[in-house]
Chains A and B, each alone.
Chain A
Amino acid sequence: MKPRLFAALLGAAIACTPFAAHAHRAWMVPSATVLSGEDVWISIDAAASNTLFFADHNPLRLDNLVVHAPDGAQATPQNLLRGRYRCTFDIELAQSGTYRIVNATRGANARYMLNGEEQRWRGQLSELQAALPSGATDVRVSENFNRVETFVTRGAPTEIQPVNEGLELAPITHPNDLVTEEAARFRFLLDGQPAANLEVTLAPGGQRYRNDTGEFTVTTDAQGIATVNWPSAGMWWINASVRDLPSDTAGATRSANYSGVLEVLP
């Protein structure tokens, strides 16, 4: 949709308000991240939950699941099952190197007033025009880009190329080379540019068995680099988000969210 057309549709009543971030945490947890041998598979649990990493809310919608193999081709997820609380699927690691498992979604939220009541809409931005009933006023639109991913490596790690879209983690320390005794450095990119001064949340799994969350935040420097000192080994959830970005679509805002799962070994 062309920005001008969209602006004309929404008229002067448009207001730009960001929508609440997803309340639950999205994750894909692999059965292992550092593997050796030849006939090697991993299994992944994918869900959105509050308690990391316990499937207690909803399965992750995997409509946009892509498994990037080390050679750049796409591998096929197998044995996909959608359960009440989580999805599971397997990946055969046929190649040596690093697999990047991604569920990246683009969408839009809209709120508008119709006959004195607030209505909500969710879908693709291109569908909004058709979806809005005549008489809708106070239309507020937010585009969102959401990336959920994890990494696994068979044999020696291979380089991870940035996708330059949305908010992403561009590793300096390889995500499958994390140990408690060494600090890790990750660059965050927003549409391919360093995301400076970005607050990054780190939360350890196994939360049910602790009274404190164990979470902490770090802030990226001017080059978009976050330095993380791991307090403990285990599966970690790494998350960052940006909101109220200008959008290509006139009158709308844009948000981007990143959620990764990283394994830190002792």
Chain B
Amino acid sequence: MKLAQLTAALLTLAATPAAAQNLRVDVEIPRLSTAEYHSPYVAIWLERPDQTAVANLAVWYDIAARNNEGQTWLSDMRTWWRKIGRETTLPADGVSGATRAPGATHINLRANQGPLRGVTPGAYNIVVEAARELGGREVVRVPIQWGPQAQTANASGSSELGAISVSINP
């Protein structure tokens, strides 16, 4: 590679400082003692401050059920379903997965890759919604500033979700 091309390439990298950071979302699924417990369906998505959806970050549902029967209850995540779910084709690579057992779990995403491709710096909400068979439903929103600055934002659910922590690391 010639020096001029190399310089141009380096300048391009320098001009997109948001391109390197990580987004990590920690979600606590509370351990509930009920007679019949099923792990909740959980959706995590990115939305603008006006609550229009930008991208799915994770959808955990019963992917193993025969004949895609697990998709029947996706609409129980009502807010997600209305904002973005009903327009989403599942399964989706890098987004959908099996339900997760109670406890701490997380997702890790890189800027400009996968679901965050094309997401420009600015104000957003990370939204987490859980809906459980024979249980309730809860939505938690965490406002964030997507950009090169490191930050941590926290929120907490009160029934179907526990602590939610969002961290952005350059």
Contacts and interface: CB of A to CB of B under 8 A. Distances in A.
For the complex, would chain A's binding face be called helix, strand, loop or mixed by DSSP majority? loop
A34 B81 contact: yes
B74 interface: yes
Interface range, A side: 10 to 19
A156 interface: yes
A95 B109 CA distance: 35
B82 A177 contact: yes
Interface stretch (A35-43, A142-150, A195-203): A35-43
B87 A156 contact: yes
B100 interface: no
Contacts, number: 38
A63 B87 CA distance: 36
Interface stretch (B6-14, B63-71, B121-129): B63-71
Nearest to B79: A179
A162 interface: no
Interface of B, helix, strand, loop or mixed by DSSP? helix
B86 interface: yes
Interface string A165-207: 0000000000001010000000000000000000000000000
Given A36-B73, A37-B69, A37-B71, A155 B82 contact: no
Contact of B82 (A35, A39, A40, A179): A179
Nearest to B76: A36
B78 interface: yes
Given A36-B85, A155-B86, A156-B86, A265 B78 contact: yes
Interface string A243-266: 000000000000000000000011
Interface of A: 34-40, 155-157, 177, 179, 265-266
